[in-house]
Structure 1
């Protein structure tokens, strides 16, 4: 009987591991710009259960400037869809927004406008 219990534990362990991962749904975005081991910008965003949490971990300006675009704009510098949100979070602070779905995070250390591909808008 102890051998049967050991076999059952061996077979159930991977299944329990897989099932435990099912409850951790969500998406995490991480943006990091470094210079010689120094974080010029470090931001994390996590979306879980319909709530997005934006955390400005490091920024040389003291602020993380966020622009959120619809996911349909991913990689398209000339996307015609307007940004979903613009906001700023101070270094060491977080902001939570409920109800965001299918978006792309662009973040920078200054308030300059960003295109949907997260590159700065070139002003002529």
Structure 2
């Protein structure tokens, strides 16, 4: 799968395809189950792409961390923004997320602790 992703990216680059400017992160998690996900944030829009998952879905949790006094060693609290899943090969676009939002991605649905 890694080689296929690399070859496809190289082919698109040779054809002149360029992604819009922004921040792209690729997350690969191995453990009981593995997941490979790609997130691109550009111009106030986030694009979540599930590339590979043993369960057939990537489960996302979006959050914002709120820290009062990091210098004093105070723990940060996470405010949940959204939970959703994307099937392997699928894409979901989300608008209106705060700058610097965080994400977790898993191969299995996480239990909520709100």
With the length of structure 2 as denominator, give the TM-score of the two structures: 0.64
- Larger relative helix fraction: 1
Dislocated runs of 4+, deviation >4 Å: none
1:92 is aligned to 89
Q: How many residues align?
A: 85
Quote the RMSD (CA, aligned, Å).
2.4
How do 1:21-100 residues align onto structure 2 when only pairs under 5 Å count? 25-34=21-30, 40-72=34-66, 79-100=76-97
Change (3 A) 1:72 1:80: closer
Tell me how far apart the structure 1 counterparts of residues 109 and 81 of structure 2 sit (CA, whole Å): 16
1:111 is aligned to 109
Query: Deviations 1:27-65 (Å, cap 9, x if unpaired)?
Result: 112110247xxx921000000011100000000000000
- Larger relative strand fraction: 2
Bigger radius of gyration: 1
Structure 2: any 5+ residue segments left out of the alignment?
1-19, 68-74
Higher relative contact order (CA 8 A, sep 6+): 2
With the length of structure 1 as denominator, give the TM-score of the two structures: 0.59
Structure 1: any 5+ residue segments left out of the alignment?
1-23, 115-120
